[in-house]
Amino acid sequence: MSNAALLREPKRRKLLASAGLSWLFDAMDVGLVSFIVAALALEWKLGAQQVGLLTAVNSIGMAVGAAVSGALADRYGRRAILVWTLVIFSVANGLSALATSFAVLCALRFVVGFGLGGELPVASTLVSESMPAGVRGRAVVLLESFWAGGWIVAALVSYFVIPHYGWRTALVLGALPALYALYLRRSIEDSPRFAAAGPERRPSLRKRIAAVWSGEQARSTAVLWILWFTVVFSYYGMFLWLPTVMVMKGFGLVRSFEYVLTMTLAQLPGYFTAAYLIERFGRKFVLVAYLLLTAASAAWFGNATAEGSLLAAGICLSFFNLGAWGAMYAYTPELYPTATRATGVGLAASFGRIGGVIGPYLVGWLVARGTGIGPIFMIFFAAIVLGALAVWTMGRETKGTDPDSLPQVRNR
């Protein structure tokens, strides 16, 4: 059976679609935040540092959620944690619409971030474990492609809803995924690899954390932590500020939403090309190539002045950056055996989220002090290049390998 046929097998296709929709809802929330922040800055008269703080609080919640959910998923199963994280972030999203002060909104955004950050590494682990080696990478990149769909929905909601009905209505729509969690609980199963391990073969949390920093896994963990930090730092620093940056460059709020929607559409071909290339040329090649092209696009966008150049740079930035995200999510679970996979993925994602805290806040801090957009985006250029170099020089290729051939940690 061909690789394409393996991916079209009904059970696998259903899992990919089900997990992908939960991924779409996550992306919709992150996208909504970037647009809502731009509207809030005008309505509540927020300063640049307050805008940075709000987005940073969301990322702090994601960091905590990724670490906690990864550990719990290795103990209690991928499906159960996936469902509960979806419920947590959806309910907190709806409650955010009732926020009457900046402090209350920040507290609720932390809870939203906890659920959102917890769901992503668990979903990618579940899909990676449930697919044959020949289509494993492609399946996870296709899972990540739902992120672009979520951003497109967020951009459409922001364009048609926020200017007419306000940001609170947009957050109410962000609570709808809680209903989907009821369907998800019945429609998917835990991965065969995890189910086969059995409760008696699941190591303690202490042993799992020690395992990801021992032997061959220690080198992989170091590469992943550098990669995740630089990618998340640059992504959230750039993309959560995109609508606001467009306003700062002289465009009105609605016009900036139009441009960001156009840029967002470029994410889909970025994912699809990465999904095709990752099984032909391997994970390292796609990661390094797309990261370096992201870095070049960031430098271009930050220094662009003409309207056409700015739009073209933003399209390239979306295309290559999100393709790199897909490759990163495909690569990460393949570096750990089943017993420690969700823990390893969760810890890498959690460390990366620290970058997601620093990136947006750093932009706010620099903007408040009069730093131009060009120098700010050159910081992201340098960070992305660092991540690419770490993968190229220290990372190992995982295409076609069996993660469970790595040393297993025992529960004693």
Mean of per-residue pLDDT scores for the chain: 84
Task: Identify whether the C-beta of residue 150 lies closer than 8 Å to the C-beta of residue 26.
Answer: yes
> What is the per-residue pLDDT for 215?
81
Instruction: Note the pLDDT tens digit of each residue in 3-34.
Output: 555 556 778 888 888 888 888 888 888 778 77
Question: How far is 271 from 198, CA to CA, in rounded Å?
Answer: 35
What count of residues does the chain have?
412
Q: What are the structural domains of the chain?
A: 3-185+206-400 (1.20.1250.20)
According to the model, what pLDDT value does residue 296 have? 97
Which has the minimum average pLDDT: 8-17, 69-78, 151-160, 240-249?
240-249
User: DSSP labels for 127-172?
Assistant: HHHHS-HHHHHHHHHHHHHHHHHHHHHHHHHHHHTHHHH-HHHHHH
Is pLDDT above 50 for 220? yes
Report the alpha-carbon distance of residue 177 to residue 181 in Å, rounded: 6
Provide mean pLDDT across the span 24-50.
80
pLDDT in tens, 121-131: 888 888 888 88
- Asked if 330 contacts 282 with a C-beta cutoff of 8 angstroms, the reply is no
Confidence (pLDDT) at 253? 57
DSSP line for 206-275? HHHHHHHTSHHHHHHHHHHHHHHHHHHHHHHHHHTTHHHHHHHTT--HHHHHHHHHHHHHTHHHHHHHHH
> Would the pLDDT of 360 be above 70?
yes
**pLDDT tens digits for range 181-210:** 777 777 778 877 787 766 656 778 788 888
Can you read off the two tokens belonging to residue 303?
């220094």
**Per-residue DSSP letter, 409:** P
Q: Residue 412 has what pLDDT?
A: 43
The predicted pLDDT at position 8 comes to 61
Where does the pLDDT of residue 69 fall: very low under 50, low under 70, confident under 90, or very high at 90 and above?
very high
Q: d(Cα 256, Cα 251) in Å, to the nearest integer?
A: 6
